[in-house]
Chain A
């Protein structure tokens, strides 16, 4: 008798605890679910943090599935909002349409993509877009292997390339802007989803060249050297000013969040979160290392939300077209 009690009591305890835990789940909580790009994540985290300070009853959860992974959950109807470091692709729009999900596209900040080399590299001060294309195009694989092949006079040494992982929005944007075709580049470079790995790689290799978000350069200025980009109008270094005023082209990109239209209409907490996001995105994006959009652009975006204007204006748009032009269409 005593022994069977010894077995039954723990089982009962386990059952009670489980039931207790399960019963709590019926409590209604309003949650805003966000997922998507790891590049946009720091901004969304900052917004969520501030938003929850002011709105105690609303929970915001943010995941990192990457731009593509976020879109998958978005058109699967699993989340309200997704962050993206590139515009939604045609194929993703088709999936949304198939699942009856209408969305509103909101640019929230700028990010500059920096092309960087080792500080010991004293020859490469600027590169033209054509030179970058020559270096990164799929045809370059196995052929363009030495610095001297990019520009006469540069050393006859093997060049080692570092870049964002091929599943990232950053890679998609870089290839679109430089090679001219999204998701198409040579394959023989060191790719990593973790930009700090790229920073370390380039910092330890005199003949390296790589690209990643400007914030990673800003934090590692002593270990890296920026390359100015010449798009035909003179060489420009990426900086807060040159990204914001549109002179650092074509490697300035807007960052987005996409919101489901029905969530915006039916869930007041999503609407409140999105409005809060746009109101504070300028200040908060700067705090976490990105470049705010001009004030009038935030006003235009707020208007898009107010009018529930669906669809994308950025997808398929030419790299370098001003954001105001696109939004006022």
Chain B
């Protein structure tokens, strides 16, 4: 009997050791990507920070690395983002509300559900090819901002739908029932209770998927974003360029001065994405407080 107890104790101490080793391994696993990312960031900042000034943000691309700027790609990316949001957000939220509130559990709805989840994992270049075939060629939109934004909206949609559905699902059942009990119909409940309550989650999903969309290079190159554009777009049908395309072009040039420009461009892109992410966090925080 005593012997048995000892066995148990040794087992426990072995378990403790394994646990400690496990924690150590996990800590290393967290450290490795962090260190790599920090090194990459520091490297980029050292290379690019010298080039970051107002001129860099307000000049058009040029063959002289010192006077080249990113005005047209920056504006191009900005307009792309606004248009993408215009297309993707209403459709995304609409689809999420329908699937969560109205569709029920039919075969069709679970089929749609599986497809949306799968679409979220499709490589972005596939969306580029789809955009090229559908918007550029078939719908004759040309290699325009509109075609680019529509393509990016397709890419952002699955993520927006999934995030919105999660948010809608997390609205407590009691609240809905309380609304029904007060005599509200389904639409009133969705409008007054479900959507406002799930808004923080929905917004976070929207902003994160848009941030991903503006960082994408493959789909917009596929649908025909240009590289040298020395004017600002004056309509949605205008040809355009975007930040990732310009960065890619500068990186592949032989002259190191252009590589420095690329680093500065990466910083601008990072700042834009960080701003968007912090906007998501702030909105989430404020809205949640309001709800409480």
Measured CB to CB, the closest approach of chain B to A107, in angstroms, equals: 20
B190 contacts the other chain (CB 8 A):
no
Q: Name the one of B86, B225, B249, B252 contacting A14, with C-beta atoms under 8 angstroms.
A: B86
* Number of chain A residues whose Cβ lies closer than 8 Å to a Cβ of chain B: 44
Q: How far is the CA of A72 from the CA of B256 in the complex (A)?
A: 32
Given A42-B253, A194-B252, A219-B255 in contact, is the A22-B235 Cβ separation under 8 Å? yes
Chain B 232-255, CB-CB to A under 8 Å as 1, else 0, gives 001111110000000001011111
Most A CB atoms within 10 A — which of B61, B229, B238, B254?
A: B254
Q: Is the CB of A63 within 8 A of B224?
A: yes
Measured CB to CB, the closest approach of chain A to B80, in angstroms, equals: 13
B227 / chain A contacts, CB cutoff of 8 Å: 41, 45, 62-64
A29 / chain B contacts, CB cutoff of 8 Å: 234
In this complex, what residue of B is CB-closest to A76? Answer: B137
Q: Is the CB of B254 within 8 A of A49?
A: no
Q: Is the CB of B235 within 8 A of A27?
A: yes
Q: How far is the CA of A78 from the CA of B141 in the complex (A)?
A: 12
Measured CB to CB, the closest approach of chain A to B132, in angstroms, equals: 12
Task: Tell me the A39-76 residues at the B interface (CB within 8 Å).
Answer: 41-42, 44-46, 48-49, 52, 59-64
B230 contacts the other chain (CB 8 A):
yes
Q: How far is the CA of A219 from the CA of B253 in the complex (A)?
A: 10
Q: Is the CB of B254 within 8 A of A22?
A: no
A287 contacts the other chain (CB 8 A):
yes
Q: Is the CB of B226 within 8 A of A63?
A: yes
B289 contacts the other chain (CB 8 A):
no
Chain B 257-278, CB-CB to A under 8 Å as 1, else 0, gives 0010000000000000000000
Most B CB atoms within 10 A — which of A23, A24, A220, A287?
A: A24
12 A-B residue pairs with Cβ-Cβ distance under 8 Å, sorted by A, are A33-B239, A41-B227, A44-B228, A60-B228, A61-B226, A62-B227, A63-B228, A195-B254, A215-B254, A216-B254, A219-B256, A288-B63
A295 / chain B contacts, CB cutoff of 8 Å: none
Q: Is the CB of A218 within 8 A of B230?
A: no
Q: Name the one of A62, A78, A289 contacting B228, with C-beta atoms under 8 angstroms.
A: A62
Q: Name the one of B228, B229, B254 contacting A218, with C-beta atoms under 8 angstroms.
A: B254
Measured CB to CB, the closest approach of chain A to B220, in angstroms, equals: 11
Q: Is the CB of B251 within 8 A of A196?
A: yes
In this complex, what residue of B is CB-closest to A53? Answer: B230
Q: Is the CB of B239 within 8 A of A31?
A: yes
Given A49-B230, A219-B256 in contact, is the A61-B235 Cβ separation under 8 Å? no
Chain A 14-32, CB-CB to B under 8 Å as 1, else 0, gives 1001100111110101010
Most B CB atoms within 10 A — which of A21, A23, A59?
A: A21
A193 / chain B contacts, CB cutoff of 8 Å: 252
Given A42-B63, A219-B256 in contact, is the A62-B236 Cβ separation under 8 Å? no
Q: How far is the CA of A59 from the CA of B256 in the complex (A)?
A: 28
Q: How far is the CA of A322 from the CA of B234 in the complex (A)?
A: 46
Q: How far is the CA of A24 from the CA of B236 in the complex (A)?
A: 8
B231 contacts the other chain (CB 8 A):
yes
Q: Name the one of B61, B191, B236, B239 contacting A21, with C-beta atoms under 8 angstroms.
A: B236
Q: Is the CB of B228 within 8 A of A45?
A: yes
Q: How far is the CA of A78 from the CA of B136 in the complex (A)?
A: 11
Measured CB to CB, the closest approach of chain B to A43, in angstroms, equals: 9
In this complex, what residue of B is CB-closest to A199? Answer: B254
Q: Name the one of B191, B234, B253 contacting A27, with C-beta atoms under 8 angstroms.
A: B234
Q: Which 8 A-B residue pairings sit nearest by Cβ, starting from the closest?
A: A25-B235, A62-B228, A24-B235, A46-B63, A25-B237, A219-B254, A63-B226, A216-B254
Q: How far is the CA of A194 from the CA of B247 in the complex (A)?
A: 13
Measured CB to CB, the closest approach of chain A to B89, in angstroms, equals: 10
In this complex, what residue of B is CB-closest to A33? Answer: B239
Q: How far is the CA of A215 from the CA of B254 in the complex (A)?
A: 6
A3 contacts the other chain (CB 8 A):
yes
B170 contacts the other chain (CB 8 A):
no
A38 contacts the other chain (CB 8 A):
yes
A169 contacts the other chain (CB 8 A):
no
A24 / chain B contacts, CB cutoff of 8 Å: 234-235
Measured CB to CB, the closest approach of chain B to A320, in angstroms, equals: 25
Q: Is the CB of A289 within 8 A of B230?
A: no
In this complex, what residue of B is CB-closest to A78? Answer: B143
A213 / chain B contacts, CB cutoff of 8 Å: 254
Q: How far is the CA of A18 from the CA of B61 in the complex (A)?
A: 28
A218 / chain B contacts, CB cutoff of 8 Å: 254
Q: Is the CB of A18 within 8 A of B251?
A: no
B235 / chain A contacts, CB cutoff of 8 Å: 21-25, 27
Q: How far is the CA of A33 from the CA of B61 in the complex (A)?
A: 17
Measured CB to CB, the closest approach of chain B to A186, in angstroms, equals: 24
Q: Is the CB of A52 within 8 A of B230?
A: yes
Measured CB to CB, the closest approach of chain A to B153, in angstroms, equals: 14
Given A45-B61, A45-B63, A287-B63 in contact, is the A61-B255 Cβ separation under 8 Å? no
Q: How far is the CA of A21 from the CA of B251 in the complex (A)?
A: 33
Q: How far is the CA of A110 from the CA of B175 in the complex (A)?
A: 74
A288 / chain B contacts, CB cutoff of 8 Å: 63
B62 contacts the other chain (CB 8 A):
yes
In this complex, what residue of A is CB-closest to B239? Answer: A61
Known interface pairs A25-B237, A62-B228, A62-B229; 17 further A-B residue pairs with C-beta atoms within 8 A, sorted by A's residue number: A18-B86, A22-B237, A27-B235, A41-B227, A42-B63, A45-B227, A48-B228, A48-B230, A49-B63, A49-B228, A60-B228, A60-B230, A64-B227, A218-B254, A284-B63, A287-B63, A288-B63
